[in-house]
Amino acid sequence: MDGISKQIIRERLITKSTWITTSYTELAQVAAIVGERFMRYIVHIYLNGNQQKKVGIEISTLNEAGTAGTASDHTTKYSHINVPAADNVQIPNGSLDIEDPIFTMEGGTRGPYGRCLDVGHSVNCTVEYWDNDI
């Protein structure tokens, strides 16, 4: 991130939304894999309640040679995040810092992943990130 101004980062900031279900769901579903010459900086994850019941969410990264659907191939980064039915949870809590990412992903990697711990429920997730050509 050296030499990149906040203005350039703001111009590159991308917002994507997806639904987290009981299977591992890739949170930044823009491209399955970060391009080889890029670094991806995930700066904010916003989890919205499903209006039905409080649910638990787990956020993990996929080990380098792992398979997305296999629990043992994931490393949990945030476990048992309780998302209230009629509320939301932000990671990081409060305001985000575009120069201080919560996940940094190198080219060729995938993730992070989210998984709903309550069978039969899902949660809407919005992710903000930016990519940098290295």
CATH assignment at residue 50: 2.60.120
Instruction: Express each pLDDT in 87-105 by its tens digit.
Output: 999 998 887 888 899 988 8
Q: Within a domain: residue 108?
A: yes
Q: How many domains would you assign to the chain?
A: 1
Q: Within a domain: residue 1?
A: no
Q: Flag whether pLDDT at 7 surpasses 90.
A: yes
| DSSP notation for 1-30 | -TT--HHHHHHH-EEEEEEE-SS-EESSTT
What pLDDT does 29 receive?
66
pLDDT band at 64 (very low <50, low <70, confident <90, very high): confident
Domain that holds residue 42: 6-133
Of the chain, the end-to-end C-alpha distance in Å amounts to 9
Write out the two tokens for 71: 């629990």
Report which of 59, 61, 56, 29 is spatially closest to residue 45, judged by C-alpha positions: 59
CB atoms within 10 A of CB 121: 19
Q: Within a domain: residue 102?
A: yes
